[in-house]
Structure 1
Amino acid sequence: MIRKRKHVISIGISATFLGIFFFFITLNNVHTDTYDIARFSTAGETIRSPITIENEQETERKTRETVQSVPDRFNISTEITQERVNYIEEVFDAIATLESEELGEKENEDDKETNGDRLVPLSNQEKVNRLKQILSEPITESLENETLIQLIISPQDDREAGRKLFVENLETVLNNGVRTENIQSAISEINQSIKYATLNEELKQPLTELSKFAVVENSFFDVEQTQEARKEAASNVDPVVIRAGEVIVQEGQTITNEIYEELNLVGLLDGQRNFFPAIGLALLIFLICSMIGYELYLLMKENKLEKGKLISIIGISILIISVLKLVSLFLTSENQIFYIVPIATGAFLLKLLINERVAIIFTALFSIISGIIFNGEIAGSLNIEAVIYFFFSQLAALTFLTNVKDRTSILKSGFGVMVVNIITILLFVFLTFEKYDLIDLLIQTSFGIISAFLSVVLTIGLLPFFETVLGVLTDIKLLQLSNPNQPLLKKLLTETPGTYHHSVMVANISETACEAVGANGLLARVGAYYHDIGKTVRPQYFIENQMSNRNPHDFIDPKESAKIIISHPYDGAKQLKKYKLPKEIIDIAEQHHGTSLLKFFYYKEKEKEKEREEVGQIDESIFRYPGPKPQTKEAAIICICDSVEAAVRSLNEPTEDKIEEIVAAIINDRMTDGQLDESPLTLKELKIINRTICGTLKGIFHSRIQYPLKEAK
C-alpha cells in the first residue's frame, strides 16, 4: 500500500513537472507584448495583430456608407405611360380622320359643281375647331391652336414619319421613368431627337410643342423597395476583420487615430487581456497532463512503471518539445522549416522503451503542442499543418516499426516515415492555390527526408543511453542478453552444463506460459537463462552438474546443505549486478524460489533427529529461502516452471498423466505455501499456465519409436 502510494505521488510529481515545462515553453506563443503608445506618435517597430477580430466600428461605417450609396427606388406607372402615348396617337388619328372627312366632302363638292352648287373650303381655324370637338379634353386644354394648325397643314407622309419618331422617343423616355425633377431633361431628350431627325423643318416645331404636353411625371418614389434595397446592401457588406498576423502599423509610421483604435481593439494597449490566453493554455496543459498521468497510472497498475521508464518518458517529452521550440525560432512566413523536425524519434523510443499504447498517446499530445509552438506566436491560433504533419510522421513510425526485437527494423521504419513525410508535404502543396517552383518543392520534400533520417539516427543513438544509463529493458536489449556468447552464459555453459540445459528447458516452458497469459515471454526466456547463474559458485553441490561424481550432500549436515542451496539465488544476483544486467533479470534470479521450503533437507534433518532420538522443534526458517516472493508474472511463472522441469526430468517414464499430475501438484503447492501471493497472477491465469505447461512438456517428452537393435554376427 505504501509502495503504491509512493508510485502515485511520483506520477503526480512527474505529470506536474511536465505540465509546468509545457506551459512555460509555450507561454510566449499565446502571450502578446503590449505597447505604451500615444496618438500621433511614431511607431518604433512593426506591430502585427495577435488575434483575429472584427472591427465593429469600421464595419458600421462601411455599412452606413453602403446604405447611403443605394439610390432611391421608384415605381414607373405604365398606366400613365400608355395614357400619354394614347393622347399623341389620338391627335394624329384625329387629324387623319379630319382629312378623310375633308376628302369625302371634296368629292361631294365635285358632284355639286356638276349640279351647279359649290361648297366653300374650311379654313384652318374651322379645322381646328372641328378637331377640338373630337379630341379629349386634356389635349384641347393643353395644346395651342397654332400647334394643331401646323400639324394639320403638314403633308400626310411627313406627319406619319413625325408621328412614328415622336411615339418611339416618347415611349423610350417614359419607360425609363420621368420624375418631377427631370421632366425638362426628358422633354429635351425628345426634342434633341426631333431636332436631328430628317423631318420637314415646318413639322419639327409642332412636334417640339407636342413634347411639352406628352411628357409628364410617371415615376414615383417607392418607400418599401428603397428600404428593401438598403437592407440587402447592408447585409452584403463583409465585416471588416483584422486578421491574426496582419500588420497594423509599420515601423516609422505615424500612429493615426484609426491605427490607435485598431491597436486598442486587438488588445495591444491593454496588458490585462494576456491573462485570458494564459488561462486557456493552462487548461489545455491540464488536459494533456491528465492524459499523461492516467497512462502512467495504468502502467503502475500493470507493474510496468519502473523508475527508469518514468524518467525515460519525462526525458523524451522534454527532448521532443525542446527540439520543436528550437526549430520554431527559425520559422518565418516564407518557409516551412518545421518539416525538418525529427519528431518520429519520440514515437520510436516510446514504443521500444515502454509500449505502443503510450507511444500513440504521446504522438497525439506532441502533435497538439506542436500546433501551438509553430503558431508564429499569434495568440489563439494553431498551425494545423504542423499538427497533421507531425501526427502522420509519428503514426508512420509506430506503424512501420513492427519488429521491436531488431535494431535494423528501425532503419526500415525510417524509409516508411520518409515516404509518409513526402506524401504529407505534397498534400499541403496541392491543397493550396499557390504555385510552387520545382526548386521550392524539392527543398520542402527534402526536409521530410532529412526528418526521417534524423529520427532514425537519433533513435539508434539514444536507445543505448536509455537502456544502459537509465536501466530500461527493451526487447532489443533482451535479445542481446540471450546471445550464448554473453560472458555469464558462456560461464554457465562451461562450468555448469547441466544447469545450462535445465535453464534452457525452463526458458522454453516459461516463454510459452507467459505469452499465454499476456506476460513478456522474451523477458521470461532471458530471465530463465540467468536465473540459476548462482550455481556456478558451487556447481558440484547441484545434482544436475554431478554427473557420475558422488553427491557431496551425503557427507555434510542437512543444515549446511540447505545453506549452500539457499545461497544460489543471491549469489546469482550478486554476479548479475556485477555484470550490470537489468534489474528485471536480477529480480527474477532473487525471486524464483520465493520463500519456499527445501523439503528434502528439511525432512532429512527430521530423520536425523529421530535416529538420534532427540526431541526438539526444528527451525523451519533455516530451510526456507529468505525471499522475496515473486513480484511479477514472469518471476512467478519461472518459479513454477523451475520446479516443474526438475520434477518431470526426474521421472523415469514421463507419461501424460504423470506430467499433468506433477504440474497441478506443484502449482497447488506454490499457492498453498503463499509463494504466489505477491504476484499479479489470477486463478484464471494459473489454469491457463497449467494447461500451457502441460502441453509444452508433452511435446518435449513425447514417446519415441523403439528402434530395433542390430544383431551381432
Structure 2
Amino acid sequence: MNSFKNIIEYIMKTRSKFLRIVVPIIALSLYFFLLSFNNVYTETYDIEPLTTARETIRSPITIENQQETKRKTREVYQSVQDRFDISTEIAQEQIGYIAEIFNAVEKLEAESMKEDDSDAPVPLNNREKVERLKQLISNSITEKVDDSVFLRLIDVSPEEREQGEELFITYVQEVYETGVRTANMNSAIESIKENIRYSTLDDNLIEALQELTEFVIVENSFYDADKTEEARKQAASTVEPVMINAGEVIVREGETITNEVYEKLQLVGLLNEDRNVFPVIGLAILILLIGSIIFYEMNRIDNYKRLDKGAIASILLISFFVVSLMKTISLFTTHANELFFIVPVATGVLLVKQLINERLAIVLTALYAILGGIIFNGQIPGTLNIEAVVYFFFSQFAAIVCLMNVKDRLSIVRSGIGMSIANIVTILLFVFLSFEKYSLADLLLLSGYGLASAFLSAVLTIGLLPFFETGLGILSDIKLLQLSSPNQPLLKKILTEAPGTYHHSIMVANLSETACDAIGANGLLARVAAYYHDIGKTVRPHYFIENQLSIKNPHDMISPEQSAEIIIRHPYDGAELLKKHRMPKEIIDVAMQHHGTTLLKYFYFKEKEQNPTTREADFRYPGPKPQTKEAAVISICDSVEAAVRSLQEPTEEKIEEIVSNIVNERLMDGQLDECPLTIKEVKIVHQTICETLKGIFHSRIQYPSKEAK
C-alpha cells in the first residue's frame, strides 16, 4: 500500500515538474525557433531563364560549381603548349661541322704558305684549293655545301675569318638552345642570316656564312608526348575549384537571368524547395539542445527548492527580452554596418546573476552567444557569425565576473566599466585578425559601439531590476542589502520598541550568515532574514525576557497556558506584519518557520505540574517546519544564541555542550526533516556556530576595582 502511495506521489511530483518547467521551456524554445527561422530558411523562387530578376538574389550556401570548375580545368589543360625534347648531340654535331670547315681552311692556308717559301712548283689556284679543301673535310659536308662557299671562305683574310667563325658559332648555339623544330626551322635560319647581314664582316664572308646557315641549321627539337601530358595534368591540378560563396550575389535586381545564372540558382537550391528542410532540421536540433541545457539547469535549481514561479518567469522574460533585442537590431545590421557590437546583450546575464544564481548566468552566456551568431548571420543559411558569438560571450562573461561584492545598484555601473574594457579589447582582436584595413575613424566608431553596449547593459539592468524584484517577488542581493539598512522602518520599530530583541536578532544574524556561508547557502539572505525573524515580538515586547528591563515579568501574573499562547503567537504576528509591509516571501517564510513545531518546554512543564492531563500539542508551535537551509540554520542559531546568552560564565565547554544539545534535539524532534540540510552540513553548521560563539565569548582580563587596589 505504501509503495503504491509512493508511486502516486512520484507521478504527481513529476507531473507538477513537467507543468512548471517543461511547458515554459517548450514555449521558450518555440519562440527561439520562430525568431531565428528566417536566418536559416532558404527562400525559393519561381523564375524562368531569360527573364528579368525582380530582386537581388544571394546564394544561401557555399557550394562548388563543378561544371564551371570542369570548364576552367579543360581550358587550362588545352592551353598547355606541346613539350619538346631538345637534342644537344645534334647541336654539337652541327657546330662541329662549322669548326671542321674553318679548321680545314686554316690548314689549307698553312700549306700554301709552305709552298711559297720552298722551291716547289707554282702555288695552287682557287679551283685547286677548293678541291684540296674538300679532301680535308668530311663527305657529309662536301655533299651539301656548295663549292662557292669554300671559295669565299678561302678568299677572306684569316683575322676576318676567325671573327666570322666566332660570331657564327654564337648565333648557331643560341638557336639550338631554344630548339629547332620543323615548324620554326625557316624562322631560325632567317634569324641567323639577319644577324649576320647586319654585322661588320666582309661581304664575301657574310654571303658564305648565310649559305652555310642552311646547311648547319637542322631539326634538334622533337615532340615529347609524355612530357606534354605530364605538363597538362600538372596545370590542371593547380586549378582551384570554382566556388559560389554564401552571401554572394548571383543576380541583381533588373538584370537578365541568363542560362548561366539560372544554373547557379538551381545549383544552390533556390529553385528546389526540397533543400529547404535541412537547415530547418538543423535549427530544430540546435534549439532542442539549448532547451535541454536550460531544462537541466532549472531542474537543478528546483532540486534545491529555489525554483519558484518568479524565478521561472524571470528566466522566460529575460530570455525573451535578450533574443528579441538581438533580432530587432539584426534587422538594421549590414556587412558595412556591424551593429551587433552595440547590442546590450549582457543585460540578461546581469539580471540572472542577481535574481537567481551565477551558474545559470554563465550557462546562458554561452547559449545567448550561440543564438546571436545565428541571428546575426545576415540571413545566410548554414553560417554563423563567429565574430558575434565571440563578442557576445566575452561581453557577458566580463559582466558576470565584474559584478562582485554587490553592495548597491552602483555595483552594476562599476561592472559596466569592466564590460567596456572587455568589449573594446574584443573589437581590437577582430581588427588585428582581419586582413581589412581600418581607419582611425572606424576604430573609434566600433569602440564607441562597445562602450554603448556596456552602458546600455548597465542602465537596462538597473531599470529592469526593480520590476523583477517587485512585480515577480524575486529577492536579489541588492534588495537584501537595502532591507538590511538600519533605516528600514521595521528595523527601527524593533530597535525602539524591543531593543533586547534587536540585539538578539543581530547576534543571530551574525551566527546564521557565517554558518550558511560555510555550507554554501545564501549567507546574505540568512543575515537579513534573521534581522526580521522576531519582528512579531514588537506586538507584545514586554512578554519576552530580553525586553524586560527593570520591570516585573508579566508572565508571573498569567497562567502558563496564556503565556504559551502569547509566545507561540509571535512568529505569525511577525509574518502578518511583514506581509503588511510587502516584504519578500523568503523573509516571511523564515519568520513563520524559525520555531517549526518545537515544544515550549518551560511553560509546558510548568502547566503540567498544575495539570497532569496537559497535552504536549497545546504547547507546540503550529509550524511549518523549516523548508530551506537558511530557515533551518536560523532556527538553530536562534535557540543557541538565547541559550548561550543565559549562561553566567559561557566557557568553551559549556558552549560546545549547549550547541550539541540543541542540534541533537532538533534532529531527534524531526525539526530538520523538511529542509534540504544533510547530516554533513548539520555538522559543519554545528562546528561553525561553536567557533563563532567562542570568538564572541572569549576570555577577558578581570580588571580590579578601586577597593581592591
What's 1:644 paired with? 640
Q: Distance in 2 between matches of 1:156 and 1:476?
A: 114
- Using the TM superposition, give the Cα deviation of residue 5 of structure 1 relative to its aligned residue in structure 2, in angstroms: 5.5
What's 1:539 paired with? 541
Q: Deviations over 1:115-137 (max 9, x none)?
A: xxxx2543444333332322222
What's 2:23 paired with? 13
Q: Which of 657, 663, 667 lines up with 1:667 in the alignment?
A: 663
Q: Deviations over 1:93-116 (max 9, x none)?
A: 1122122222222333xx25xxxx
Q: Distance in 2 between matches of 1:473 and 1:445?
A: 35
What's 2:314 paired with? 312
What's 1:214 paired with? 216
Q: Give the letter for the 1:106 counterpart.
A: D
When structure 1 is superposed on structure 2, of 142-151 and 481-490 the one drifting more is 142-151
TM-score after normalising by structure 2: 0.94
In structure 1, the residue corresponding to 2:597 is in which secondary structure?
coil
Q: Distance in 1 between matches of 2:583 and 2:310?
A: 14
Q: Distance in 1 between matches of 2:318 and 2:48?
A: 47
In structure 2, the residue corresponding to 1:75 is in which secondary structure?
strand
In structure 1, the residue corresponding to 2:623 is in which secondary structure?
coil
- Using the TM superposition, give the Cα deviation of residue 693 of structure 1 relative to its aligned residue in structure 2, in angstroms: 1.4
Q: Which of 353, 366, 379 lines up with 1:377 in the alignment?
A: 379
In structure 2, the residue corresponding to 1:248 is in which secondary structure?
strand
Q: Is the aligned partner of 1:450 residue 2:464?
A: no
What's 2:572 paired with? 570
In structure 2, the residue corresponding to 1:489 is in which secondary structure?
helix
Contact 1:8 1:297 in 2 (8 A): no
What's 1:45 paired with? 55
What's 1:386 paired with? 388
Residues 1:702 and 1:164: Cα distance change in structure 2 (over 3 Å): closer
Q: Which of 13, 37, 42 lines up with 1:27 in the alignment?
A: 37
In structure 2, the residue corresponding to 1:429 is in which secondary structure?
helix
Q: Distance in 1 between matches of 2:229 and 2:115?
A: 62
What's 1:80 paired with? 90
Q: Is the aligned partner of 1:463 residue 2:489?
A: no
Contact 1:187 1:215 in 2 (8 A): yes
- Give RMSD over aligned pairs: 2.1
Q: Distance in 1 between matches of 2:157 and 2:544?
A: 149
- Using the TM superposition, give the Cα deviation of residue 548 of structure 1 relative to its aligned residue in structure 2, in angstroms: 4.2
Q: Distance in 2 between matches of 1:345 and 1:90?
A: 97
| Counterpart mapping for 1:223-622 below 5 A | 223-610=225-612, 616=613, 618-622=614-618
Q: Is the aligned partner of 1:100 residue 2:110?
A: yes
Q: Give the letter for the 2:669 counterpart.
A: D
What's 1:695 paired with? 691
- Using the TM superposition, give the Cα deviation of residue 222 of structure 1 relative to its aligned residue in structure 2, in angstroms: 1.9
- Using the TM superposition, give the Cα deviation of residue 331 of structure 1 relative to its aligned residue in structure 2, in angstroms: 0.6
- Using the TM superposition, give the Cα deviation of residue 319 of structure 1 relative to its aligned residue in structure 2, in angstroms: 0.8
Q: Deviations over 1:511-555 (max 9, x none)?
A: 121122221111111111111222223333333333344444344
Q: Distance in 2 between matches of 1:437 and 1:609?
A: 94
Q: Distance in 2 between matches of 1:656 and 1:432?
A: 68
Q: Deviations over 1:216-264 (max 9, x none)?
A: 1101112232222212211222221112221111111111111111111
When structure 1 is superposed on structure 2, of 78-87 and 428-437 the one drifting more is 428-437
| Counterpart mapping for 1:117-196 below 5 A | 119-196=121-198
In structure 1, the residue corresponding to 2:184 is in which secondary structure?
helix
- Using the TM superposition, give the Cα deviation of residue 9 of structure 1 relative to its aligned residue in structure 2, in angstroms: 4.5
Q: Give the letter for the 2:534 counterpart.
A: D
| Percent identity over paired residues | 63
Contact 2:413 2:458 in 1 (8 A): yes
What's 2:3 paired with? none
When structure 1 is superposed on structure 2, of 124-133 and 400-409 the one drifting more is 124-133
In structure 1, the residue corresponding to 2:85 is in which secondary structure?
strand
Q: Deviations over 1:557-587 (max 9, x none)?
A: 4333333322221222122112111111111
- Structure 2 portions without partners, runs of 5+: 1-9
Q: Distance in 1 between matches of 2:174 and 2:688?
A: 103
- Using the TM superposition, give the Cα deviation of residue 328 of structure 1 relative to its aligned residue in structure 2, in angstroms: 0.7
Contact 2:345 2:392 in 1 (8 A): yes
Residues 1:648 and 1:161: Cα distance change in structure 2 (over 3 Å): closer
Q: Give the letter for the 1:383 counterpart.
A: N
- Using the TM superposition, give the Cα deviation of residue 711 of structure 1 relative to its aligned residue in structure 2, in angstroms: 4.5
Q: Give the letter for the 2:470 counterpart.
A: T
- Using the TM superposition, give the Cα deviation of residue 8 of structure 1 relative to its aligned residue in structure 2, in angstroms: 5.2
Contact 1:562 1:601 in 2 (8 A): yes
What's 2:4 paired with? none
- Using the TM superposition, give the Cα deviation of residue 27 of structure 1 relative to its aligned residue in structure 2, in angstroms: 1.2
Q: Distance in 2 between matches of 1:645 and 1:97?
A: 135
Q: Deviations over 1:400-430 (max 9, x none)?
A: 2112232211111212222222232233333
Contact 1:29 1:379 in 2 (8 A): yes
Q: Distance in 2 between matches of 1:606 and 1:426?
A: 80
Q: Distance in 1 between matches of 2:398 and 2:140?
A: 92
What's 1:613 paired with? none
What's 2:623 paired with? 627
When structure 1 is superposed on structure 2, of 259-268 and 642-651 the one drifting more is 642-651
Contact 1:173 1:186 in 2 (8 A): yes
- Using the TM superposition, give the Cα deviation of residue 359 of structure 1 relative to its aligned residue in structure 2, in angstroms: 1.4
Q: Give the letter for the 1:352 counterpart.
A: Q
Residues 1:566 and 1:90: Cα distance change in structure 2 (over 3 Å): same
- Using the TM superposition, give the Cα deviation of residue 157 of structure 1 relative to its aligned residue in structure 2, in angstroms: 3.5
- Using the TM superposition, give the Cα deviation of residue 3 of structure 1 relative to its aligned residue in structure 2, in angstroms: 4.6
When structure 1 is superposed on structure 2, of 138-147 and 553-562 the one drifting more is 553-562
Q: Give the letter for the 2:476 counterpart.
A: T
Contact 2:115 2:123 in 1 (8 A): no
In structure 1, the residue corresponding to 2:611 is in which secondary structure?
helix
Moved over 6 A (4+): none
- Using the TM superposition, give the Cα deviation of residue 4 of structure 1 relative to its aligned residue in structure 2, in angstroms: 6.5
In structure 2, the residue corresponding to 1:192 is in which secondary structure?
helix
When structure 1 is superposed on structure 2, of 545-554 and 560-569 the one drifting more is 545-554
Q: Distance in 1 between matches of 2:171 and 2:699?
A: 121
Q: Give the letter for the 1:302 counterpart.
A: Y
Q: Give the letter for the 1:218 counterpart.
A: N
Residues 1:4 and 1:706: Cα distance change in structure 2 (over 3 Å): farther
Residues 1:5 and 1:545: Cα distance change in structure 2 (over 3 Å): farther
In structure 1, the residue corresponding to 2:582 is in which secondary structure?
coil
Q: Distance in 1 between matches of 2:212 and 2:172?
A: 11
Q: Distance in 2 between matches of 1:542 and 1:175?
A: 120
Residues 1:531 and 1:5: Cα distance change in structure 2 (over 3 Å): farther
Q: Which of 64, 68, 88 lines up with 1:54 in the alignment?
A: 64
Q: Give the letter for the 1:640 counterpart.
A: I
- Structure 1 portions without partners, runs of 5+: 113-118, 611-615
TM-score after normalising by structure 1: 0.94
- Using the TM superposition, give the Cα deviation of residue 395 of structure 1 relative to its aligned residue in structure 2, in angstroms: 1.9
In structure 1, the residue corresponding to 2:382 is in which secondary structure?
coil
Q: Distance in 1 between matches of 2:182 and 2:459?
A: 87
Contact 1:352 1:404 in 2 (8 A): no
Q: Give the letter for the 2:177 counterpart.
A: N
Contact 2:517 2:523 in 1 (8 A): yes
